[in-house]
Structure 1
Amino acid sequence: MAKGTSFWERFFSVLDIFFSDDKKEQRRKEREEKRKAKEAFKRYESWRDSR
């Protein structure tokens, strides 16, 4: 029984590692998109103010 439990614990911890990497990548992409949106908005503001 203990062997089975440790197998599943390892199995899920490995899955957890993969999913946590996916989440990190997702967060990084979201930050990148937010940064681009902010820059585009700043460009729009400066263009609007210069008119």
Structure 2
Amino acid sequence: MFYAPMAGYLIVAAVSVFLIIAQRKHAIGRNSAIGIRTRHTLASDAAWDAGQ
């Protein structure tokens, strides 16, 4: 028996694992949409990493 919500849970879990692995490999850099975006954190990549 297959429950429809189970597919959603599996997708969320797979995407979460993918993002965790990509973040640990530093494959995901800073972006303009998500994160603490202040004048200080946007000044450099080092400031961005320290602020997050």
TM-score range, shorter chain: 0.3 to 0.5
Query: Whose helix fraction is larger, Structure 1's or Structure 2's?
Result: 1
TM-score normalised by length of structure 1? 0.46
The structure with higher relative contact order (CA 8 Å, sep 6+) is 2
TM-score normalised by length of structure 2? 0.45
Bigger radius of gyration among the two: 1
